Amino acid sequence: MSNVKIRDVRAILTEPEPGSRFTVVKIETTEPGLYGIGCASLRTRPQAVKVAIEQYLRPFLIGKDPADIEDIWQSAYVSSYWRSGPILNNALSGIDEALWDIKGKVAGMPVYDLLGGKAREAAAVYAHASAASPEEVEDQAHGFIEEGYHFVRIQVATPGFATYGASGGEGRDRDPQDGPKWITTKAEPADDKYAYAQRAGVYEPKPYMRSAISLMDRIRSSVGWKVELIHDVHERLPTILAVDFAKEVEQFKLFYLEDLLPPHEIGWYERVREQTSTPMAIGEIFNNPLEIVPLITGRLIDFVRTRLSPIGGITPAKKYAAMAELMGIRTAFQGPGNVSPVGQAAHLNVDLNISNFGVQEEAIYSEKIQEIFPGAPTIRDGFMWSNGEPGLGIDINEELAAKYPHNDEGGGHFDNVRRADGTVVRP
């Protein structure tokens, strides 16, 4: 027990770039100047997270000792009786990361030191080579290799169809007036650069499979074996086609195939494992331990790909990572541009400590974002580096953040992709 107590808890919402929609929790203590920040960014439902933090967790936390992270996590987790889910876990993550930040500042140590120290100097990141044509993807991949990257994720538009992870090109679309009928539309590049061009349009699995396989063939032949390649299926393939796809891409020796199947189809990973040694990374939309734990204990995946905020922060992440380590499984935490720099700093601190780190998804933050978040992790030569400052090593300029309120117009939905008859394709 210390004399320091939690004095206030706030959610700070800021959207400095379209679609970024960051939510950051600030915990202030009774010790003047001692505070911590954490990431609670759920860009599709930020107002719900804010309510969970300020209306429900704030009164629960005020007066508690910020040093008791484990106790606070456990008691807050069950304080709603019904628990988990993206809203409650993101809220809890904001609290948890802020408490680790405070503990580090009190100790005068970076969080990775509190966790046991560095297992590596910097965290290798992967870059995104994503374009309308295979030629452009190839150019981008070579550009990244020249910049020093060792890991590149490759995505290309499927000619004539909606695709995850790449924009542009002519596409078949549904006619919103007439219903199921093939029409041809010109896909506009997405204005929301964080959305990875979820162009609403018709998705068909086989054309996607052929274009992705042909891209992997081209890029592997072009870059040789000096770089690791990653590809994201985005959980859209029908189950037996997913097994088939994983088998067919085995020849390209990917670092991993990402999100082959959605959380409601995890039972199929046994079928995949029986058929192929293509490495599997899964977990970015997982938020309940019941989803990821059987995949780890069954040694059915190769990389845990959760992001920290939907699972509840650093406290659960270190447990998942330890369990994965004992099963010979590595991590590949999700970190796209809609993870706040505070969340990315939390990823980095865990990445640096754990022995079974695989790779970290990179987020490139604009100068504007870096100005709002002084101390944001930097990327150099294909690695993300810590500044070694106490806590998470990052701060927020609240005055500047307030200049960019969330744009809640339209609600911020993740666009639906549909089959030709209008059926929603579940990611």
Can you give the binding site for Mg ion, defined by CB under 5 A?
232, 258-259, 284
Instruction: Write the DSSP assignment of 69-135 as a string of letters.
Output: HHHHHHHHHTTTSS--SHHHHHHHHHHHHHHHHHHHHHHTSBHHHHTT--SSSSEEEEEEEEESSHH
Whole-angstrom distance, CA of residue 66 vs CA of residue 159 = 54
Please, what is the minimum distance in Å from the beta carbon of residue 232 to Mg ion? 4
Say if residues 230 and 305 touch (Cβ distance below 8 Å): no
128, 150, 231, 234: which is the annotated catalytic residue? 234
Q: Does the active-site annotation cover 126?
A: no
Say if residues 60 and 54 touch (Cβ distance below 8 Å): no
Whose Cβ is closer to Mg ion: residue 17's or residue 232's?
232
Whose Cβ is closer to Mg ion: residue 25's or residue 292's?
292
Please, what is the minimum distance in Å from the beta carbon of residue 397 to Mg ion? 31
Whose Cβ is closer to Mg ion: residue 36's or residue 262's?
262
Q: Which residue is nearest to Mg ion (CB)?
A: 259
Q: Does the active-site annotation cover 231?
A: no
Helix axes 314-326, 69-77, angle to 10 degrees: 100
Q: How far is CA 403 from CA 71, 272, 397, in A?
A: 36, 48, 10
Whose Cβ is closer to Mg ion: residue 28's or residue 361's?
361
164, 203, 269, 404: which is the annotated catalytic residue? 164
Whole-angstrom distance, CA of residue 391 vs CA of residue 172 = 50
Please, what is the minimum distance in Å from the beta carbon of residue 305 to Mg ion? 7
The token pair at 328 is 């010979």
Whose Cβ is closer to Mg ion: residue 101's or residue 258's?
258
Please, what is the minimum distance in Å from the beta carbon of residue 395 to Mg ion? 30
Please, what is the minimum distance in Å from the beta carbon of residue 226 to Mg ion? 24
| C-alpha closest to that of 170 among 151, 156, 157 | 157
Catalytic residue numbers, as ranges: 164, 234
